[in-house]
């Protein structure tokens, strides 16, 4: 009985103490401006921390859906960019065709590269146009930056071409618009370098001069910019060998134009007749 009375007395004492503490806080809140300010600040700080924690949790769980949405938007933008790039390249090749068509004697067909090799001595190109599109063997291939290659064989829907980056390829080129002409070949090392040979010593030129197609060919139109003069050296004391920096970056090549001389067959026939005499 005595133990029970002690426990009851302890409970009553604790309840009285708690009640007095609550009463004291209430008096402080209602009777003191400074005390009221500190108590309010404490309550607001606790509320702010609670709100910030709940917001962080919400943002964490919504992060995955946000990332998925961003990924979808990036994919859509990427597809649109590719479409615009294709249209721009097609417009560029159409512009090339219209500008060179004034020279006369050539037809032009925009094409896309399906496959290209760059790391061998006999590189090749596969185009997405064939005989059904009007492509013929021995047609030239150009870009806005120069000579790309020559069509070697065709199927109905595709063409196989010898790339300028081929040890067996040569194009007639000219220093400047009125300078000397000679055969130009790939140097066999760099995708941006070529060699123009057989330039007579009496002809003057300087680094940075533009090199063009000469027009002495039934394959390529004249005056297509190919590259710029880098350096030169005298060969056998008789002619210059000119180093040329190509304008076309073959590593970034995607769209080209196929050119075909309408008079090539007649020219070839005349050459064959001359050879039979």
Could you tell me if 144 and 168 are in contact, meaning their C-beta atoms sit under 8 angstroms apart? Answer: no
Asked whether residue 228 carries a pLDDT value surpassing 60, the answer given is yes
Unique residue bearing structure tokens 């064989």:
153
**Backbone Cα Rg of the chain:** 40
pLDDT tens digits, 4-22: 555 556 566 656 666 665 5
Q: Give the confidence band of 247 by pLDDT, cuts at 50, 70, 90.
A: very high
Alpha carbon separation from 131 to 7, 111, 137, 175, 239 (Å, rounded): 108, 13, 9, 35, 42
DSSP reduced 3-state for 55: helix
Phi then psi dihedrals of residue 38, to 5 deg:
-65, -40
The pLDDT value recorded for residue 240 is 96
pLDDT of residue 277: 46
CA dist., res. 166 & res. 164, Å (int): 5
Structure tokens at 11: 């409970």
Q: Contact at 8 Å (CB) between 110 and 95?
A: no
Nearest C-alpha neighbor of 256 from the set 227, 223, 224: 224
Name the nearest CA neighbour of 190 among 225, 223, 227: 227
Domains delineated in the chain: 104-276 (2.40.10.340)
Each residue of 141-176: pLDDT tens digit? 999 899 999 999 999 999 999 999 999 999 999 999
Q: Is 176 helix (H, G, I), strand (E, B) or coil?
A: coil
pLDDT, mean of residues 76-94: 56
CA distance 236 to 270: 35
Helices in 104-243 by DSSP H: which ranges?
A: none
């Amino acid at each position: 009985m005595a133990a029970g009375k002690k426990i009851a007395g302890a409970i009553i004492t604790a309840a009285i103490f708690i009640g007095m503490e609550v009463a004291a806080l209430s008096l402080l809140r209602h009777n003191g401006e400074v005390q009221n300010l500190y108590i309010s600040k404490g309550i607001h700080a606790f509320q702010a921390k609670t709100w910030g924690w709940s917001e962080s949790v919400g943002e964490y769980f919504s992060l995955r859906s946000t990332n998925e949405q961003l990924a979808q938007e990036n994919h859509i933008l990427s597809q649109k960019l590719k479409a615009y790039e294709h249209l721009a390249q097609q417009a560029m090749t159409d512009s090339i065709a219209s500008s060179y068509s004034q020279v006369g004697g050539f037809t032009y067909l925009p094409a896309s590269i399906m496959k290209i090799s760059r790391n061998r001595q006999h590189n090749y190109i596969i185009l997405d146009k064939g005989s059904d599109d009007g492509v013929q063997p021995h047609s030239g291939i150009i870009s806005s930056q120069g000579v790309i290659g020559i069509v070697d064989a065709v199927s109905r829907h595709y063409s196989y071409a010898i790339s300028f980056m081929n040890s067996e390829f040569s194009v007639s080129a000219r220093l400047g618009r009125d300078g000397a002409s000679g055969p130009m070949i790939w140097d066999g090392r760099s995708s941006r370098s070529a060699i123009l040979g057989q330039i007579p010593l009496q002809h003057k030129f300087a680094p940075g001069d533009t090199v063009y197609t000469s027009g002495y060919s039934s394959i390529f139109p004249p005056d297509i910019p190919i590259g710029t003069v880098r350096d030169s050296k005298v060969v056998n004391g008789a002619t210059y060998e000119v180093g040329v920096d190509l304008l076309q970056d073959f590593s970034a090549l995607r769209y080209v134009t196929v050119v075909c001389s309408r008079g090539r067959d007649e020219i070839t026939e005349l050459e064959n007749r001359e050879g039979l005499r």
